[in-house]
Amino acid sequence: MFNALTALPADPILGLLTQYRNDNHPQKIDLGVGVYKDPQGNTPILDCVKNAEQLRTDSETTKVYIGPTGSEQFNQLMSQLAFGSDHSALLADRVRTVSTPGGTGALRVAAEFIKQCNPDATIWVSDPTWANHTGLFEAAGLTVKTYPYYDYDSKTLKFEQMTNALKQVSKDDVVLLHACCHNPSGMDLTNAQWDEVIAIATQQGFTPLIDMAYQGFGDGIDDDAYGVRKMAQAVENMILCSSCSKNFGLYRERIGACTLVASNTAVANTAFSVLLYVIRCIYSMPPAHGAALVETILGTPALKQQWIDELTVMRDRINGNRQMLVDKLIENGVDHDFSFIAKQKGMFSFLGINAAQVKQLKQEHSIYMVDSSRMSIAGISEANVDYLAKSIKAVL
């Protein structure tokens, strides 16, 4: 059976990581992998997580299954984090949340759930979007199409083209939107633009699927959830996929959540039963450890405040890195306008150079990013930004 297979190309980001690790250049820079890094280039365990782990170790009494929905406390706290504790959808009992193996697991569960709802549904994703979105949805048997989003030339949002495209989407289809910190462009919708998109969603009747992998990394926990909260108030049906990898630093724990918002309690219960069937057929039971840490943090006032403080440090560092790179490029006499980098949000931005220049950065300067010039902003530091700016200038 295996002899019939044809080898598939390796993930380009994982391939870059291998090349970076094998590079002996003393000033090499990794701008490929999308994980948070501190000024020393490490991805630390948050202090609030360490404290929660100690509490978990002291209090855990069993490793028995926790059921396909995961921890009820985790699900409730994640719903409140996403929507706010007094959101109308929560008060009306329209929301159902399950724990999932990371944000990726949440997206795959959502895809299989959509397939149960409408096998012929098309899911519309932004151009560009996270590289794994298309594969996840196609693996579930869904048709994937794109709507205009990022203008590579002007480094702005193609908002008019985007809204014109969404006005043509069928009520039987699904539209994926990034809640904040758009991956890979860093170009987010403004609140006013969110309002327009929400109006189109209510008019067209399509189902919004919002991917929120970076809540708290853009402008703040509540600010980053603006579109999620307004959309849930306006539409009858919505799906939200959340991740705890970035904002809690729980990358390897693989914990996220998939949330359904339905028109009323009865529809929510029916949809929830289908969601549980989907879960049972994929992984049966979710991982428990990461969820236990998150619920301990969010459910303990002192730990929650510690998390908010640590999240603020991470967000401020990323935003500071953006401005630091722009300033250093100007300082080194680069006459190209890179000011757009400081205006964007989250972990990623396109540098805006071509694939040949990206290759030159790697081969001549040991600076690693994917061919599209998408760079991970967290890989920049005070120690390497001057070398990075000089290297960029050299390839322009």
Catalytic residue among 130, 188, 224, 307: 130
* Entry pTM: 0.97
Task: Tell me the pLDDT tens digit for each residue of 114-145.
Answer: 999 999 999 999 999 999 999 999 999 999 99
Query: Quick check: is 335 catalytic?
Result: no
Instruction: Give the pLDDT confidence score for residue 13 in this predicted structure.
Output: 83
Which of 158, 246, 345, 362 is an active site residue? 246
Which candidate in 188, 211, 345, 362 is catalytic? 211
pLDDT in tens, 306-317: 999 999 999 999
Give catalytic status of residue 211 as yes or no: yes
pLDDT tens digits for 154-176?
Answer: 999 999 999 999 999 999 999 99
* DSSP bridge partners of 145: 124
The verdict on whether 50 is a catalytic residue reads no
Q: Mean pLDDT across the chain, nearest whole number?
A: 97
- Which pLDDT score, from 0 to 100, does residue 10 have? 80
Give the pLDDT mean for 78-82: 98
Q: Is the model's pLDDT at 152 over the cut of 90?
A: yes
User: Phi-psi bin for 352: left (phi > 0), alpha (psi -120 to 50), beta?
Assistant: left
- In percent, the amount of the chain with pLDDT more than 70 equals 100
